[in-house]
Every structure is written in C-alpha cells, then in structure tokens.
Structure 1
Amino acid sequence: MSDYWQYSFPPFFTIQPNTETRRLQMDAWTEIILDYCRRNRIFSLNIGDCLTKAPFRNDAISRSLTEESLLTILQEMAKRGRIEWVRPEGTSEKKNKNTDGGNRQQECLVFWLKPDEWASTVEKWVDAKSMANTICTFYEITDDERADSSLKGLDERILLKALKILEDKGKATIMKMDNSYGVKFL
C-alpha cells in the first residue's frame, strides 16, 4: 500500500465530516481497495473477515477501519458501481437493507473491472480462441488451460453478469445445465 500516501496518515482511517475532505477520502479508499483486489485477484469481500487484514488495517501506524467506516466506504463504492452487495440466500432485497442497523450487509462483489469491461475481456478471449458458435462451461472460461490469464479464477457471479451483457448484445446465450451454467457464443 506504499503507493498511497494516505494509507500512512492516521486520520485517513476515520471517516471525515467535511464534505470535500470526505469525497477525496472516498476517492482514495475506492482506488486503494480496487487496486488491492486487482493485485490479489480478490472478487468478493466479507465484511467480518476483511477488517483484520490489509488494506483495511495498517499495523505500521496501529490504525484500522471500524465496521461502520468500512460500510460507509463500501456504500459509496456501491453508488459508484464498483461493488455490489450479495444477498444471503433466502433473503429478499427489502429484508436485507441496512437501514436500522439490524440486518447488515456482509458480502459484496468487487468490480475492479466493471461487468461491461469483463464482457469485453470475454469477447476478446472468444475472438482470440475462435470460440464463436461453441458452447463452453464457466469452468472452461475461468479455470481451464484454455482460459485467458485475465479470466483465471474470475468469480462465477461476475462472469454471469458479464455474459448477460453479451447476451443482451446478441453475442451469447446463457444456458443452465443442472446446477451450473454454460454459454454458447454467437
């Protein structure tokens, strides 16, 4: 995190009350989190797990974000389209809202590339591998030896979002097969 001077500045770990200062703080936190996730190929964050780890904690200055501070940052990132909250199975969207502090969000997908950028990456892979008019499993796209290094290990939930974009453009058809998905590239 040495690329970011703010990370060594203790007040950076406390949400700032001044509107302009907070905007700059949110810009920096967004950049730090996205960069960290990209470098480490992290596609989702669990709030409880990440509070004790970098970049949310800086042992060199004995500072860390509180859960409330992290939620404030992630809510701002959600407004910017850089994360998306994951609803626990069996909960509705209304039931999972964090309005009264009772039912907090716990996991989010991190878009260090937005879904439309992932769609473009998949499309380039399809062209490079001459995969038009073929059917692939998600495993073949993200984990197979033919998988592009930029797609290796991509979270299936993010891949599904990217493929839905390609489907909307008429470039793919998503198929549900048993308990998994496949896709035909057109």
Structure 2
Amino acid sequence: MIIGRLPSEAVLVILEELGKSGNASPLDKSKQRWLIYWHTLEEWGDIIYNWAQESGFIGSVCTLFELTQGEDTTEQEFHGLDTEVLIRSLRMLEIAKKAELILFDDNQGVKFF
C-alpha cells in the first residue's frame, strides 16, 4: 500500500468543509492550525449541560479542571477534553444563557444556570 501526502490546498478544503459543518475551526487567521471536533461545539455544550443537570450542578460553580479531570466526570465523554475545546463549548452555553464562564487570573470555572 502506498500512502501519499495530500497537497496543503486539499487539506485546507477539507478543513474548511469541516468548519462549515461545525466540526472544525481555525486557531489562527492564516488557517495553519485548526481544532477538529468529534462533536460540534454546540453538541459538546449540550453534553456538558445535560451532565450538570443530571448531577445536580445547576446553580453551582465547577472548575474547568473538575470538568475534564475530576472524579465526577471519569465516565463522561467530555472527560479529558482539550481545554480550548471545553472553553469554546462553554461559550456556546453562555450564549444560550445556560452558563457563565469565570476566566480571570488562575481561576477557570463555569457556573451553570
């Protein structure tokens, strides 16, 4: 089997198509670095919010570390999720007025509504 390498233009077309479906977004204006998502940011937000509802965290604050590394989330699909993807997902919840991000100094958390 011969495995070739796609030209960078072809890779960019693929990434832009993933971006249109909500499964990728560029990290820089030159589109040299991308985040690729298994779930869209909205889907990740919904998964996290459903967990918060089921686990009794509505009205509470959770640290971002607790969400991705804590003992309460070891069985959750978002356990181990990249911090940048987590923050972008929580911003979707913020837009929907379901959560508020707390990002200042060394404090990184989210309050669920």
- TM-score (normalizing by structure 1): 0.54
Aligned pair 1:125/2:51, yes or no?
yes
The structure with higher relative contact order (CA 8 Å, sep 6+) is 2
Computing the radius of gyration from Cα coordinates, the structure with the larger value is 1
In the alignment, residue 101 of structure 2 is paired with which amino acid?
I
Question: 1:166 — aligned with what?
Answer: 93
* Aligned match for 2:68, one of 109, 123, 142: 142
Deviations 1:104-128 (A, max 9, x none): x221111221111011101111022
Question: 1:151 — aligned with what?
Answer: 78
Change (3 A) 1:176 1:127: same
Q: Which runs of 5+ in 2 are unaligned?
A: none
Question: 1:106 — aligned with what?
Answer: 32
Change (3 A) 1:143 1:117: same
Question: 1:101 — aligned with what?
Answer: none
Cα drift, residue 142 of structure 1: 0.8
In the alignment, residue 129 of structure 1 is paired with which amino acid?
S
Question: 2:19 — aligned with what?
Answer: 78
* Percent identity of equivalent pairs: 30
Aligned residues: 112
Question: Helix, strand or coil for the counterpart of 1:151?
Answer: coil
Deviations 1:53-94 (A, max 9, x none): xxxxxxx2332322232122112222332210002xxxxxxx
Change (3 A) 1:68 1:169: closer
- TM-score (normalizing by structure 2): 0.85
Question: CA separation in 1, counterparts of 2:98 and 2:3?
Answer: 50
Question: CA separation in 2, counterparts of 1:140 and 1:174?
Answer: 14
Question: CA separation in 2, counterparts of 1:156 and 1:183?
Answer: 13
Question: Helix, strand or coil for the counterpart of 2:100?
Answer: strand
